[in-house]
Amino acid sequence: MQFKDIIGHEEVKTHLLQTVKDNRVSHAQLFLGPEGSGSLALAVAYAQYINCENKQDDDSCGVCSSCNKYQKLIHPDLHFSYPFFAKGKEEVAVSYLDEWRKAFLSNPYMGIDFWRHNLDAENKQANINIAEAHDIIKKLSLKAFEAEYKVLIMWLPEFLDVQGNALLKLIEEPPAKTLFLLVAENQDRILNTIISRTQLVKVFKLGHDKVKDYLITQKHVDAQRANEIAFIADGNIQAALNLLEEEANPYFELLIQWLRFIVTDAGLHIIRFCEEDFPKLGRENQKNFLLYAINMLRQIILVQQELQQMVLLQGQELDFVQKFSVNFRGDQLETAIDFLEKTHYKVERNANPKILFLDLSLQLVLIFKYQTFPQGTQYI
């Protein structure tokens, strides 16, 4: 993986390159970015550059022995740790190394659900167990085989839980020329004792145009469809790849119908939607629908603020946004967005979709139909 293969993040790339040129490579770094942003790919490209035998000014050479092995993820001094679905207490991540290589090489922007699908482990609980922590300590206690640095890339340390305490001493005082690169999506779910021992590398979500251009140039999607997908994906390449499998935008008509029932307080229709239509979508499409709804409401706020130059919609979607914007206040929209985001978080954690969407719908009825805020809601 080379920096040139990764979409966007020019400032992050420049920062990472400069740390190597200045010989200021921190031994423990936390790449923190949302799913599908490319933070894992950046960590791999950074490790490849550090151990490249013929470093270029702006990237690894891509042809030396070290780069060739890195690009196949077979370098003996490159180690990975990641969530997996252990069948026994003694099982470790290396048991799934072939599947890991195949998954990453096919999709460097992968999310946990893509990884779960590659392991045929639908609905199973992933974690990084204590046996894996001990295996990491064992591997990194050995001398490097051929590279200057031994590198461990841990993807999603959020799944480490209390087992991470076994690694604290190693992270704080590693053997010479040992590099920890942790790649996370949610800082709040990482042990504070680990965060305090790492240097933060902040990776922001990709911009709309970056995702759109990627779909046009790399996936050969026509411009209009690429614009629709990029809008729904909201900077998440993994979500964009999932949406490519859909023949057209499946969410616009669903959103219009749902909101129509909400603003008219059509109770029976709302219940049917929540008991039949939303569960049929499946968890990934439920998440995508909620993200789409969130982005649509944000576009409405932009129209209300007379920031039309920032609106990314056209056609029917733009017409809907313009009409909706004159009927509801900004505080109603922002409170609705807050509830949609909370529901998305709970869907990610496998909460019951019928209960979630019914509760969400009733909260939105209070906001849009009766123009009141549910008890306990705080708006600033």
Per the structure, the complete domain to which residue 317 belongs is given by: 250-368
Query: Does residue 34 sit in the same domain as residue 159?
Result: yes
| Distance set, CA 170 to CA 47, 167, 198 (Å) | 19, 5, 12
Average pLDDT over the chain, rounded to an integer: 88
**Residue 84 falls inside a structural domain:** yes
Q: What is the pLDDT of residue 379?
A: 34
- 7 and 110 fall within a common domain: yes
pLDDT tens column, 198-221: 999 999 999 999 999 999 999 998
pLDDT value, residue 368: 87
Residue 134 lies in a domain: yes
Instruction: Judge whether 299 lies within some domain.
Output: yes
pTM: 0.79
Q: In CATH, what number is assigned to the domain containing residue 180?
A: 3.40.50.300
**How large a percentage of the chain has pLDDT more than 70?**
95
pLDDT averaged over consecutive 10-residue blocks of the chain (380 residues)?
Answer: 95 96 93 95 97 95 96 96 83 92 95 86 76 90 89 92 81 88 91 89 94 92 86 89 76 90 91 90 86 88 82 77 84 92 87 92 88 49
Q: DSSP secondary structure string, 255-287?
A: HHHHHHHHHTT-HHHHHHIIIIIHHHH-HHHHH
Q: Is 234 within the bounds of a domain? A: no
Token pair 């019951």 is found at 352
Say if residue 176 is in the same domain as residue 260: no
75, 51 contact by CB (below 8 A): yes
Number of structural domains in the chain: 2
Residue 379 falls inside a structural domain = no
Asked if 54 and 119 sit in the same domain, the reply is yes
Residue 212 lies in a domain: no
CA–chain centroid gap for 341, Å, is 15
E strand intervals along 236-372: none
**Tens digits of residue pLDDT in 249-278:** 678 889 999 999 998 899 899 999 999 888
